[in-house]
């Protein structure tokens, strides 16, 4: 059995149907209609120990609901979840000792206390032994560069400092699973980078299983080695990053920098996507255009000074997946890609 097993999980929410007009609204005081909505719909996947999984999907896809079920604070309507031999919602407290959770938009720190005191409180809360406690605090303070703000009350910290503190607190008890729910939201490049490196090195050293939800594809690129994509509560795609990126290999970009240009490239399967002075970018369909033909035709049209070939990044593949299939909160469903 895998370390984390999610089998045919569905979670329904009831939502109150609000009618138009005052009269109808008054009627709802006596009789109400509810809509049943599936936030997660027959979802199954399994994750092995030590995996770094990017859990992505458009807004409202059911990502946070899944994380809440995995961490034992929501009960699925049907289906089963086992994380490291525990059914999370049946043994909430025991499960809590095995997991660390960081919600990017919710703080678990005490606003009025400095980090030092919060560390101490969490040490008692999770019954962390002295040796492990000291080792972890030292390690996190160093890796996350927290020394300068350990004694300041949390309310005086910047967002970046707070987020690093959240991570440290969530990991103090050496959890075997770490759930990160949009941990880099609103952070600057340097802090983002710091956090990504930290998560990777943590995974390397402690074999922590990481499940990360994010809208920043650079997070996925730099942290994860597997992607699970869901939309409207349904599993859409479950692949390794390498496989995932292969989806982009059916086309690539060629950026031609030139000193003079006689005519634009006119080969079937090539379209110009950007037209800037002295720099043109083309989208090339790899199946239609042999590479040699492309290379040979460029000198016929341009006096080339530089040539760059770019493969699509994860960001673009995901955007294409969301867009091509008309996804997003209001639109229809993503097609099954798998």
Check binding of 110 to other proteins (CB under 8 A).
yes
Size of the site for other proteins (CB under 8 A): 35
Q: How far is the CB of 126 from other proteins (least distance, A)?
A: 6
Stretch that binds other proteins, among 47-55, 56-64, 134-142, 255-263 (CB under 8 A): 56-64
Query: How many residues make up the chain in this entry?
Result: 338
User: Cβ-count burial of 316 within 10 angstroms (0-12 exposed, 13-18 middle, 19+ buried)?
Assistant: middle
Check binding of 261 to other proteins (CB under 8 A).
no
Contact of 112 with 103, CB cutoff 8 Å: no
**Which one of residues 93, 130, 131, 242 is an interface residue with other proteins (CB under 8 A)?**
93
Check binding of 68 to other proteins (CB under 8 A).
yes
CA distance 10 to 234: 9
Q: Which residues face 93 on adjacent strands?
A: none
Q: x-or-dash pattern for other proteins, window 141-180, by CB under 8 A?
A: ------------x---------------------------
Instruction: Give CA torsion, residues 148, 154, 159, 160, to 10 deg.
Output: 30
Q: How far is the CB of 59 from other proteins (least distance, A)?
A: 7
Q: x-or-dash pattern for other proteins, window 120-139, by CB under 8 A?
A: xx--xxxx------------
Alpha-carbon Rg for the chain, nearest whole angstrom, is 25
Check binding of 59 to other proteins (CB under 8 A).
yes
Check binding of 116 to other proteins (CB under 8 A).
no
By CB under 8 A, the residues from 198 to 257 that bind other proteins are: none
CA distance 202 to 207: 7
Contact of 106 with 169, CB cutoff 8 Å: no
User: Cβ-count burial of 42 within 10 angstroms (0-12 exposed, 13-18 middle, 19+ buried)?
Assistant: middle
Q: How far is the CB of 97 from other proteins (least distance, A)?
A: 5
Q: Residue 117 gets which letter from DSSP?
A: H
Binding site for other proteins (CB under 8 A): 13, 59-60, 63-64, 68, 71-75, 89, 92-94, 96-97, 99, 101, 103, 105-108, 110, 112-113, 117, 120-121, 124-127, 153
């Amino acid at each position: 059995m895998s370390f984390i097993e999610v089998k045919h999980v569905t979670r329904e929410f009831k939502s109150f149907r609000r009618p138009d007009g005052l009269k109808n609204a008054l009627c709802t005081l006596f009789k109400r209609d509810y809509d049943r909505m599936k936030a997660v719909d027959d979802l199954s996947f399994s994750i092995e120990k030590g995996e770094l999984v990017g859990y992505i999907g458009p807004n409202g896809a059911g990502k946070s609901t899944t994380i809440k079920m995995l961490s034992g604070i929501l009960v699925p309507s049907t289906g089963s979840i086992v994380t490291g031999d525990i059914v999370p919602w049946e043994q909430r407290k025991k499960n809590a000792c095995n997991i660390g959770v960081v919600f990017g938009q919710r703080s678990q720190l005490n606003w009025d206390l400095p980090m030092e005191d919060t560390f101490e409180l969490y040490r008692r809360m999770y019954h962390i032994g002295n040796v492990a406690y000291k080792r972890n605090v030292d390690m996190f303070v160093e890796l996350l560069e927290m020394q300068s703000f350990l004694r300041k009350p949390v309310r005086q910290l910047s967002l970046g400092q707070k987020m690093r503190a959240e991570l440290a607190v969530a990991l103090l008890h050496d959890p075997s699973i770490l759930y990160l729910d949009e941990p880099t939201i609103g952070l600057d490049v340097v802090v983002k980078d710091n956090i990504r490196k930290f998560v990777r090195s943590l995974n390397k050293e402690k074999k922590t299983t990481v499940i990360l939800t994010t809208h920043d594809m650079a997070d996925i690129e730099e942290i994860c080695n597997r992607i699970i994509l869901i939309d409207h509560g349904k599993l859409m795609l479950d692949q390794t990053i390498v496989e995932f990126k292969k989806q982009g290999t059916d086309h690539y970009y060629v950026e031609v920098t030139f000193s003079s240009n006689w005519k634009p490239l006119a080969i079937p399967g090539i379209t110009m996507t950007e037209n800037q002075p002295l720099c043109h970018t083309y989208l090339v369909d790899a199946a239609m255009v042999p590479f040699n033909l492309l290379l040979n035709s460029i000198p016929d049209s341009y006096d080339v000074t530089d040539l760059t070939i770019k493969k699509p990044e994860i960001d673009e593949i995901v955007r294409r997946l969301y867009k091509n299939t008309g996804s997003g909160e209001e639109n229809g469903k993503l097609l099954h890609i798998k």
